[in-house]
Amino acid sequence: MKNELQLLGEKILEKKYQIAERVHLKVINKAAAQKLPMTEKEIIDIRANFVKLFGESLLQEADADTGGQLFLKWGKETGKRVCDLGIPLDQALKGTSYYRTCIWEVLGEEMLNHDMSLATSLKVGSILDPLLDQAVYAFSSAYVQCHEETLENSKRAFLELSVPVVPLAKGVAVLPLIGNIDTERARLLMEEVLQKASEKRLSHLLFDLSGVLVVDTMVADQIFKIEKALGLLGVETILIGIRPEVAQTMTNLGIDTGQLKIKSNLEQALKDLNESFGLL
């Protein structure tokens, strides 16, 4: 049987590109291929290298334990690469069953030509099937992880853009907040504001809340914390632009703003700063 497995392994290696092309034709049509961020040759090369692993596994009689590391490595690397290229996961996994089918087409023909036994066929299946399953699992896991990291990075970039500290004069800047402030944005707000206040050497920071529709106890608490942290850096915080409905909500919630410096709008805040400190 060993010689038969080696013969089958050599046949897969010999026809790896033929198998890869068969899989490719089953998976994708010409119209779809034109939209992919890779050339057809590059895709077939990837498929052929994958098929090559099956041939080598038969040559070495590698099972899921001894040969699995190569398939896991292939799955992790290829899954991340495909994700980086922006190819949808369902499209990338579409060829999984076709690999099995096309490889077995070649193996079946070779087994018939050499009158191989059922035992050989079962042995081949016991080697190849678990390895394919491992590769698919590693590929999917790597793709999902890469996709989640991409989403997280995009989300963080968006959040960072939503904390714009805009300089108005030497030592004075305004932070216009827009939209809801959830726990994650509040945490990032603290980090970004402190860092930018230090970088820009601010003495005064105006918090413009005119674009904030809802202020609850969590948001208010975060504003208090930022105000205290900025105070430790020598930066005075001034709240401006509180909407009437927000002011009413804050009053109903019993939020004490007595310790905060508040002005009605940006114009009034700048006027007071100029009169008091001649900053503008």
CA nearest neighbour of 137 among 187, 178, 185, 93: 93
pLDDT of residue 157: 62
- Residue 60: what pLDDT? 83
* 32-89 per-position pLDDT tens digit: 555 666 788 888 898 899 999 999 888 887 665 666 788 888 888 888 888 888 878 8
Tell me yes or no: is domain 166-277 CATH 3.30.750.24. yes
CA separation, residue 152 to residues 6, 172, 183, 231, 238 (Å): 47, 32, 15, 31, 32
**What is the reported pTM?**
0.57
Q: How far is residue 200's CA from residue 192's CA, in Å, rounded to a whole number?
A: 12
The per-residue pLDDT for 31 is 46
Better-predicted residue by pLDDT, 176 or 253:
176
Residue 173 pLDDT greater than 50, yes or no: yes
- Mean pLDDT, rounded, of the chain: 83
Q: Please say if the pLDDT value at position 208 is more than 80.
A: yes
Instruction: Kindly give, in sequence order, each residue whose CB lies less than 8 Å from that of residue 179, ignoring residues fewer than 6 positions away.
Output: 162, 211, 212, 213
Region 223-247: mean pLDDT is 89
Neighbours of 202 (CB within 10 A): 23
Rank 26-35, 155-164, 227-236, 255-264 by mean pLDDT and report only the highest.
227-236
Q: How far apart are the first and last CA of the chain?
A: 89
Q: Which two tokens stand for residue 190?
A: 């603290």
Give yes or no for residue 155 having a pLDDT over 80: no
Domain 2-158 has CATH 3.40.50: no
- Euclidean distance between CA atoms 241 and 97, whole angstroms: 60
Closest CA to 222 of 185, 267, 265, 174: 185
Note whether 76 and 138 are within 8 A (CB).
yes
26 or 185, which is more confident = 26
**Bridge partners for 36 per DSSP:** none
What lies within 8 Å, CB to CB, of 69 at 6+ separation is none
Res 223: pLDDT: 82
- Across the range 134-141, mean pLDDT stands at 89
Domain spans, the chain: 2-158, 166-277
Q: How many Cα neighbours within 13 Å face the side chain of 21?
A: 5
- Among the listed ranges 53-67, 68-82, 161-175, 199-213, which one has the minimum average pLDDT value? 53-67
| Residue that the structure tokens 């409905």 belong to | 245
| Statement: residue 146 has pLDDT above 80 | yes
Q: How far apart are CA 226 and CA 197, in angstroms?
A: 11
